[in-house]
Amino acid sequence: GVLHDKPDAKYRLNEERLVGLKETQRKLMDTCSSYVKPGGVFVYATCSILSEENAEQVESFLRDHQDFELSPLPETIPESFREQAGPFGLQLLPGADGMDGFFIARMVRKTDA
């Protein structure tokens, strides 16, 4: 998502490194989410444009943590962006959205779980 600022990053990313990043992200989500109280908000955000690090991570997280559910993005995010949100979060792209690549998903821990 930030390759224009760090063009060398594309030469360091390979399939093996991506697998490691995904595993680290999964562990971070598992650990951080354990501190969210019922009714509390959990935000997952990356500066990546890869679905493996973004929507697929959120989909997997929600499948494994059924006490969480996706929640609408807050009104502090412009409506034009909120309208672009997919089923597992909002993906912004450098060429299409006039900014760095970015992903954000907002989840809430259910109160009745």
Here the contacts of 81-89 (C-beta below 8 Å, separation 24 or greater) are: 86/55, 87/55, 87/59, 88/54, 88/55, 88/56, 88/58, 88/59, 88/62, 89/44, 89/54, 89/55, 89/58
**Catalytic center residues:** 47
All residue ranges of the chain with pLDDT < 70 are 1-13, 96-98, 113
Answer whether 0.75 is exceeded by the pTM: yes
For residue 19, the SS3 value is helix
pLDDT at 96: 66
**Rounded CA gap, 11 and 21, in Å?**
15
pLDDT at 95: 74
Half-sphere exposure of 36 (CA within 13 A, CB side): 23
